[in-house]
Structure 1
Amino acid sequence: MNKTAFITGATSGIGRATASIFAQNNIRLILCGRRKDRLEELQITLGKLTEVTTLSFDVSNRKEVENAIKSIPENFKQIDILINNAGNAHGLSSIQNGDINDWEAMLDINVKGLLYVSKAIIPQMIERNNGFIVNIGSIAGKEVYANGNVYCASKHAVNALNKSMRLDLNNYNIRVSAIHPGAVETEFSEVRFKGDTKKAAAVYDGYDPLIAKDIADIIYFVISRPSHVNIEDLVVYPTAQASASVIRKNKE
C-alpha cells in the first residue's frame, strides 16, 4: 500500500506545493486547512493522481483537531508521514507596540497547533514503530530580527520541539526533521501585513525569493531518503539572502 501523508496548512503556499509533489509520487493525502473551497478544489485536482481526503479545521483549536483526526475515513487511518506546515505571522511591530491578539494567534497556531496535531498522530506511529514527522520552521527559529519578536519566539519553539521530538521518539524508529526556509514568496506576507498587498509585494522586490515549490521539492527529498537516513535540520535561503535580515537587492 502507498504511504499516507497528513499535511496541515495544505490550502496555500508550501503546504499546497507539497501536496502536489506528493500526489505526483503516489503518496496518499490527508489535506487539512480552514478554507473548505480550496480543499474541495485540491481534492478534485490531486484526486486524479492519488487518493485524497480532506479535513477542515483550525489547528489552534484543540477540540477541532481531536475531532477532525478521529473522523478520518478508515482507509486513511494509518498515517505514515506528518507534515506540520500550518503557521503564520501577524504584524511586524516592536515588542512595546505589539498587538497581544497577534501574539496569541502566532503562539496558538505556530506552537500549540503543531503540538495538538502531533499529539493526536504520534501514538499510532509509536504503535507501528515507524513514521516520519517534518516540522516546517523558519530562519526566524535560528536567529531573531527587529520587530519579529513573538514570531521569532514561536519559530524558536518549533526548532526546540523538533529536536526534543527526535530524542523522545528515537526508540520508536520515528524520523523527525525540520526545514527552516528563509524568504519564500507565498501568501505569508499578505497575512503578516493584514492584506496590504503593496507592503507584502515590497518584501520580495529586487531579488529572486524562494517559491513554495522549492521547499516542497526539499520536503519530498527528505521523506524519500532510505529508511536508515534522517536529514534532521535544514536551513534554506534564496541565493540573495545571507541571514534573516541581510538580503542583497538589485540597485535601480
Structure 2
Amino acid sequence: MQGKIALITGATAGFGEACATAFAAAGYHLVITGRREERLRELQQQLEQAHAVKVKPLVFDVRNRKATEQALGSLEEHWRQVDVLINNAGLALDLSPVDEGDPDDWDTMLDTNVKGLLYVSRAVMPWMKARKQGQIVNIGSTAAKTVYAKGNVYCASKAAVDALTQGMRIDLLPWNIKVTAIHPGAAETEFSLVRFKGDEARAKDVYKGFTPLSAKDVADVALYCCSLPPHVCINDLVLTPTAQANAYYIQR
C-alpha cells in the first residue's frame, strides 16, 4: 500500500471526523478509531468511495488501556507505517464549581483526555521511532491556556495535554518526530451537547451571538501543520474565532 497513513482517534464526530475527511481528500490512507462502530463503518464507506484511499476502522475506547493495546496491536505491518497520529479523542462533562463536581465525570475526562492520549501514543510512538519520522498532533483547547470558572478539571486535563505535548517534543527529538499541539477555541460540534449531557437548548446557547469555529476549520489547520516541509514544525498553535480572545472572553 503506497501513500501516507494518518491514525485519528475519536473519528466518529467533530474534529476527528473532519480530520479524517480532510486527510483522505489529501490522499492519506486512514486508521480511524472510536466507540461507535456504525459511525466508523459509515465514515469508512464514505471516504473510500469519495477518495482513492484505504480506511481501517478500529472500535475501542481509549480509556481502556488493554483494549487500546489490543486494537492497535492487531494492525498489520503495513498499517503500522503511521506518518501522522492525531490524538483527538476527548470531551468535557458538566460545568460545575469544583466542590460540586461529579467524581465520575472527573474520571471520564481525565481517563479520556489524558490517559487515553498516552495509551494511544505509547502504542504508536515506537513505530515512528523505528522509521525516524512521523508527526503527532495533540488536540488541546484554549482551556489549556486560560482557566475559566467551573472549567476546573476539564481545564486541568487540557493543561496536561499541553505539558505532555512539550514533553513528547523533547523526548522524541532524537528520532526526527514532529509534535504539535492545536488548541481550538469555541467550535460548534457535539462538544457542548456532550458537556451538557444531551441538553440541546443549553448547548446551542454556547454559540449564540457570534460565529464559532467549525470542525472543518480545525481539520484544515491540522492538515496544514502536517503539510509543511520536513525541517519545519509548528509546536504550539492556538486557534479561535475572530470574536474570541481566549477561553474566557467572547464578543457576542
Residue in 2 aligned with 1:103? 106
**Residues matched between the structures, number:** 249
Rounded Cα–Cα distance in structure 1 between residues aligned with 2:136 and 2:100:
36
1:62 matches 2:65 = yes
1:189 pairs, out of 172, 188, 192, with 192
* Aligned amino acid, residue 28 of structure 1: H
1:165 matches 2:168 = yes
Residue in 2 aligned with 1:221? 224
1:89 partner SS:
coil
1:208 partner SS:
coil
2:179 pairs, out of 176, 181, 185, with 176
**C-alpha displacement of 1:69:** 0.3
1:7 matches 2:12 = no
Rounded Cα–Cα distance in structure 2 between residues aligned with 1:76 and 1:236:
31
Structure 1 residues not aligned, in runs of 5+? none
**C-alpha displacement of 1:75:** 3.0
Structure 2 residues not aligned, in runs of 5+? none
Residue in 1 aligned with 2:54? 51
* Aligned amino acid, residue 45 of structure 1: Q
Equivalent residues of 2:80, 2:127 under 8 A apart = no
2:3 partner SS:
coil
2:244 pairs, out of 233, 241, 244, with 241
1:96 partner SS:
helix
**C-alpha displacement of 1:243:** 1.6
Matches within 5 A, 1:117-128: 117-128=120-131
1:147 matches 2:161 = no
Rounded Cα–Cα distance in structure 2 between residues aligned with 1:66 and 1:47:
26
- Over 6 Å off, 4+ runs: none
Residue in 1 aligned with 2:33? 32
Residue in 2 aligned with 1:18? 19
2:57 partner SS:
strand
Rounded Cα–Cα distance in structure 2 between residues aligned with 1:231 and 1:52:
27
Equivalent residues of 2:146, 2:248 under 8 A apart = no
1:183 partner SS:
coil
1:203 pairs, out of 202, 206, 209, with 206
* Aligned amino acid, residue 72 of structure 2: I
Once the two structures are superposed, residues 132-157 of structure 1 have per-residue CA deviations (whole angstroms, 9 ceiling, x without a partner) of 00000000011100000000000000
TM-score between the two structures when normalised by the length of structure 2: 0.98
1:32 partner SS:
strand
Q: Aligned residues: percent identity?
A: 56
1:82 matches 2:85 = yes
TM-score between the two structures when normalised by the length of structure 1: 0.98
Once the two structures are superposed, residues 98-118 of structure 1 have per-residue CA deviations (whole angstroms, 9 ceiling, x without a partner) of 000000000000000000000
Rounded Cα–Cα distance in structure 2 between residues aligned with 1:75 and 1:240:
44
2:119 pairs, out of 116, 121, 131, with 116
* Aligned amino acid, residue 19 of structure 2: T
* Aligned amino acid, residue 35 of structure 2: R
**C-alpha displacement of 1:235:** 0.3
Rounded Cα–Cα distance in structure 2 between residues aligned with 1:51 and 1:238:
33
1:134 matches 2:117 = no
RMSD: 0.7
* Aligned amino acid, residue 197 of structure 2: K
Rounded Cα–Cα distance in structure 1 between residues aligned with 2:80 and 2:152:
38
